[in-house]
A and B are shown apart, each in its own frame.
Chain A
Amino acid sequence: MPLPPIDSPTWNSTLRTFGWGMRSVTATVLAAVLFATYLGIGALAHDSHFSLAWTLLSTILVWAGPAQIIVITTLGSGASVVQSAIAVTMSAVRLFPMVVSVLPLMRTPQTKRRQLILPAHFTAVTLWVECHRFLPQVPREKRIAFVNGLGCGLLCISLSANLIGFFLAANLSQTLGSAILLLTPLAFLFSTARNSKGLADVLALVLGLVLYPLASLMSSGLDILVSGVVAGTIAFGVHKWREGR
């Protein structure tokens, strides 16, 4: 479904612009990936003994798949609040450059800072990619409304997927339940691999996968942080070393 031309009077209405943003989620394959991801997160939260309200709130308040699976997996396996908070915050640093690079696309000289809070909240990899695709087709002064609509649309998809995943995990046979749980590692591995452009990213991914089982043998309770910091630092070191030669 194509957007109306940029000089169309449709764009004069903020509400209709919001609607166009919301409807744009149907024009992206990433919405399917998002659905599968949040289906998995719903099932993962259920099988890690979190409530449905907890699951939906985690999607609304956190709105970042990696941070959500980190918080579910760490808290679910008995890590302390401080340990999960550190792991989550490390995973969330990437949101900072995303926000910094996406907000200028919708800012005008009249824009107030508080108007940017909601678009910043919705910023995660899916929205970030779609903003670069859609925003050039939207008049600048209407872009915030469009992004809020797009964000709400993506949130609706994710919440529905959470709800379905949670109930499927509760009611399906073990075979189908395990298939839904398997969605999370598969979807995250491939989307991270897809976003890994440089050597540092690829090495960090591979070493992170390999080092976690080793770190878990020590069962220090800090396994995920230890393997993450070690693998990430080695990857960064190799990258710098290669760059320096």
Chain B
Amino acid sequence: MSEVLGDFVGDWHALVMLVLAGAIPNQIWRMLGVWLGGGLNEGSDLLLWVKAVATAILAGVIAQILVEPPGALATVPAVLRYGALVAGFATFLLMRRSILAGVVCGEVVMLAGKWWLG
């Protein structure tokens, strides 16, 4: 029983890291929004720059998952990982920016490719 609980919780160090690296740096901005209210101009240059950097960081993380894949994704050949993303993106654009259509197509291409390669 204690082993099951131990597996569920994992190590405490990681939970502290989650609060320090994940929860606090994220929540600061929501709480700032509550306290400051309408004091900021949405079209300001600073906010525009921050938004661009945030988008690029997220894009970088997406690239990182594909270039240095974790766990089971590492068993998929690189060509197939990139191919699935490109095919999915093309479908997304063709289907009037449907996220669902893009995701389904990307998945189908990856699975079909993996099956075909054996």
Q: How far, in angstroms, from A58 to B32 measured CA to CA in the complex? A: 20
A71→B60 contact, CB < 8 A? no
Instruction: List A172-191 residues whose CB lies under 8 Å from chain B.
Output: 172, 174-175, 177-179, 181-191
A164 at interface by CB-CB < 8 Å: no
Neighbouring A residues of B94 by C-beta, 8 Å: none
For chain B, the count of residues having a C-beta within 8 Å of the partner chain is 79
Q: Could you list 26 examples of A-B contacts with CB < 8 Å?
A: A33-B100, A50-B14, A51-B10, A52-B7, A67-B25, A84-B22, A88-B25, A90-B53, A92-B25, A93-B29, A93-B51, A99-B30, A175-B114, A178-B73, A181-B69, A181-B73, A187-B103, A192-B59, A200-B52, A205-B59, A212-B59, A216-B68, A232-B52, A232-B56, A239-B48, A240-B45
Instruction: List B44-96 residues whose CB lies under 8 Å from chain A.
Output: 45, 47-73, 75-76, 81, 84-85, 88-89, 92
Question: Which listed residue (B55, B67, B114) contacts A192, Cβ 8 A?
Answer: B55
A213 at interface by CB-CB < 8 Å: yes
A189→B62 contact, CB < 8 A? yes
Nearest chain A residue, comparing its CB with the CB of B16 = A81
Would you call the interface of chain A mostly helix, strand, loop, or mixed?
Answer: helix
Neighbouring A residues of B34 by C-beta, 8 Å: 99, 103, 113, 116-117, 120
Q: Which residues of A approach B to under 8 Å, CB–CB?
A: 29, 32-33, 36, 43-44, 46-48, 50-54, 57-58, 61-62, 64, 66-71, 73-77, 81, 84-101, 103-104, 113, 116-117, 120-121, 123, 169, 172, 174-175, 177-179, 181-194, 196, 200-201, 203-213, 215-216, 223-225, 227-233, 235-236, 239-240
